[in-house]
Amino acid sequence: MQVKRIEELDLGIIYKWWDAWPEWQALPRDFLPDDGLGGLIVYSNDKPVVAGFMYNTNSKMVLMEWIVSNPEYREEDRKDCIKKLITSFEDMAAVMGKKSVFSIGRHKGLIETHKELGWTVDPKPSHEMIKNV
């Protein structure tokens, strides 16, 4: 398993993944940290498996968001790759001197994976709100 920073070529792959998942809508690059390059991607056996983005803040917290996976990757290490992505963001945050990583999600499998990794998951659903200005 290899974890690396997202590069231009990876970003093209990630956008294809977003388009392939029926409930996802691809985000504009300027909505992503560092113009789409502010994240990590996990490869297994030279195949891209899962990616996500990290927003740095001026507080002791970072925001980990937009985790998306390769819909065609069916290998048994898929969940391990997802865990590797999340723990890599945790490690990055710690190196940066942050105290916590915050994330929002609704995918049940991803929520369960966070729980397995010791994350606190609020049992009450919340809603994301956005207003373009």
Question: Residue 23: its pLDDT value, please?
Answer: 82
Residue 78 falls inside a structural domain: yes
- Could you read off the pLDDT of 81-114 as tens digits, one per residue? 999 999 999 999 999 999 999 999 888 889 999 9
Phi-psi region of 41 (alpha: psi -120 to 50; beta: other; left: phi over 0): beta
CB atoms < 10 A from the CB of 98, how many?
Answer: 18
Residue 66 falls inside a structural domain: yes
Question: Residue 123: its pLDDT value, please?
Answer: 87
Question: Residue 126: its pLDDT value, please?
Answer: 82
- For residues 42 and 7, the answer to whether their CB atoms sit within 8 Å is no
Residue 49 falls inside a structural domain: yes
Question: Residue 130: its pLDDT value, please?
Answer: 82
Residue 61 falls inside a structural domain: yes
Residue 121 falls inside a structural domain: no
Question: Residue 67: its pLDDT value, please?
Answer: 95
**pLDDT below 70 — which residues of the chain?**
none
Q: What are phi and psi of 90, to 5 degrees?
A: -60, -45
Question: Residue 95: its pLDDT value, please?
Answer: 97
Q: Helix or strand or coil: residue 84?
A: helix
Question: Residue 22: its pLDDT value, please?
Answer: 83
Question: Residue 93: its pLDDT value, please?
Answer: 97
Residue range(s) defining the domain that contains residue 109 = 2-116
Domain count, the chain: 1
pTM to 2 decimal places: 0.91
CATH number, domain at 99?
3.40.630.30
Residue 47 falls inside a structural domain: yes
Question: Residue 15: its pLDDT value, please?
Answer: 96
Residue 125 falls inside a structural domain: no
Residue 129 falls inside a structural domain: no
